[in-house]
Amino acid sequence: MPSLDYLHVDVFSSGPYGGNSLPVFYDAPELTAAQMLTITQELRQFEAIFLRITREDRVVSARVFDLFEELPFAGHPLVGAAAALEHVFGSAAGRDWTLDLAGRAVPVTVEARPGGYSATLDAGVAAFLDDVDAHGEVAGAFSLSGTRLHPSLPLQVVSTGLRYLIVPLRPDCIRQARVAHDLSRLLAGVGAQFAVLLDPDALEIRHWNNDGVIEDVATGSAASVVAAYCVKHGLAPKGQTFALAQGRFVGRPSRIDVRVDEPASGQLSVKIGGPVTVLGRGTLNAAPAAS
């Protein structure tokens, strides 16, 4: 088994030691899902991405894992992976890459900039699924009273690949939130996989693993659904880039640039992006044993 080389990048950060860190295995050997999950758990990053070069120019196969499972879509790993590919294989002018994620081709545009890269991901069309009426239960799951929820905006499940329950709050109540218990059963009951809190006045979000142990720094997939939600409910303009903030409560403030367009179909199409800094590189000398 060859060694596993990776780049360590900081996504949604214009400098090192900011944003959301990510290991990118930019030319991974053939590994099983169990091996990739074990590597992700070993590195203790929120997520890791494993890329394999294909015969098609600027198209790579991609698989993303968090600490628990493989994900069908994830924003910050794809943004970071495209920048890593450009760093290793690209040119100074920058280029487009296509990441083939479980049969879904995701285009990412990368541009070189002083000190790093800027990458923009086409997250696709947002699907607005169900409104949720369990206000008290949802608020309690985040250690909040029902009065902390926004009085006029709906609890809503939205997806651009991962199904998020969007929980809008009154101004500045987002700082009080804590995950009170594992969210998995509650979310499954409303048809969601994850939850994201939104302060609509500040355009700030918070997201945790469902067990509440780890708070994420900058969640691209959550930002994509929140961006569509904000435009749908008149909180932000369509056809213009605006920013979502995340990460200040864990000491790594991040800025995720988002843009929502409405093509002729009437659906909302989302792009997300931001700066990426290449912090370093590493090598694993052996892969986990295949089970």
The model's confidence at residue 2, banded by pLDDT at 50, 70 and 90, is low
CA atoms within 13 Å, Cβ hemisphere of 27: 12
Residue 92 has pLDDT above 80, yes or no: no
What is the model's pLDDT at position 50?
97
Mean pLDDT confidence for 137-156: 97
Residue spans of the domains in the chain: they are 4-122+275-284, 127-267
Mean pLDDT confidence for 259-264: 89
Q: What backbone phi and psi angles, to 5 degrees, belong to 187?
A: -65, -40
Please give the full DSSP string across 263-291, using - where no structure is assigned.
Answer: -TTS--EEEEEEEEEEEEEEEESSPPPP-
Residue 221 and residue 228 in contact, taking contact as beta carbons nearer than 8 Å: no
Residue 264 has pLDDT above 90, yes or no: no
The model's confidence at residue 46, banded by pLDDT at 50, 70 and 90, is confident
Domains 4-122+275-284 and 127-267 in one fold:
yes
The model's confidence at residue 94, banded by pLDDT at 50, 70 and 90, is low
What is the model's pLDDT at position 243?
96
Give domain 127-267's CATH architecture: Roll (3.10)
Mean pLDDT confidence for 180-196: 97
122-144 pLDDT, tens digit per residue, is: 999 999 999 999 999 999 999 99
Q: Which of 3.40.50.1100, 3.10.310.10, 3.90.1640.30, 3.30.1280.10 would CATH assign to domain 4-122+275-284?
A: 3.10.310.10
Residue 149 and residue 106 in contact, taking contact as beta carbons nearer than 8 Å: no
Residue 88 has pLDDT above 70, yes or no: yes
Q: What backbone phi and psi angles, to 5 degrees, belong to 56?
A: -90, 135
Residue 290 has pLDDT above 80, yes or no: yes
- Structure pTM? 0.88
Q: 16-20, 67-71, 101-105, 232-236: which has the highest mean pLDDT?
A: 232-236
Torsion of CA 61, 66, 72, 77, to 10 degrees: -50
Q: Given CA atoms 267, 271, 203, 46 in this order, what sign does their dihedral have?
A: positive
